[in-house]
Structure 1
Amino acid sequence: MPWWFWVLLWIALIALSLLLHVMLGYRLFRKFMATVHDLGDAGKRFTNISPTAETSDLEGALERPAPGSAVFASPEQMRHDYLTAKAFRQEVRRQKRVQRKAERGQPQSLHDIELR
């Protein structure tokens, strides 16, 4: 085979290799931009949620003690406060679970229904 055939063959192979890399780079860039776009949409969606919306139920029902007051409180009082807050949080989660299942038309758990 003549020498110029090898030159043409290598030029074609290098050109095809570069074309492949350009195509893969373009696909990667498009996927990256789609991900960035989705993240931007998610950021816009979650910035509309007020940070006090989720904690407003807790703050209304339970008064928060002053910072540092736990150091001087009795262990019985702290245990009572902890158990009361824990029961309240469980009840709020149960109510949300019952409401969510009712909205979706899913069957309720017997454990949740018996607490009512």
Structure 2
Amino acid sequence: MRSLFDDSCCGRVRPASTCKGCVCSVLNRLANSNNCDVLADTRTVVNLLPKGQAGYLFMDGAFDPTPFTFLGFEQNSCCARFSYEPADGATGTRMVIIDCNTLAGISRVPQVQ
């Protein structure tokens, strides 16, 4: 029998996460400050490898991988938020939201010091 409080702020039952795979796991750990060795800082810049693709994701028609700055991860929806600078000369940072289940890989971009 269901409780009267199942769907209230007093005791909401969360559905099981549908976020599967190592990329989802890495993003979840990063979002919760449980960083792994590969992604060891809070404003991590990464390249993203979509499932079924031979190369990293690029935006704005450029053929070089777009460096994405990780902003956050929502475990319930599997959505990861990233920002990036447009390669087409446009001004202003853009944001993209990606379902982590659509990613086959993630690679940290070395920061030039």
Which structure's CA Rg is the greater one? 1
More helix by proportion, 1 or 2?
1
Greater relative contact order (CA < 8 Å, ≥ 6 in sequence)? 2
User: Shorter-chain TM-score category?
Assistant: under 0.3
More strand by proportion, 1 or 2?
2
TM-score scaled by length of structure 2: 0.21
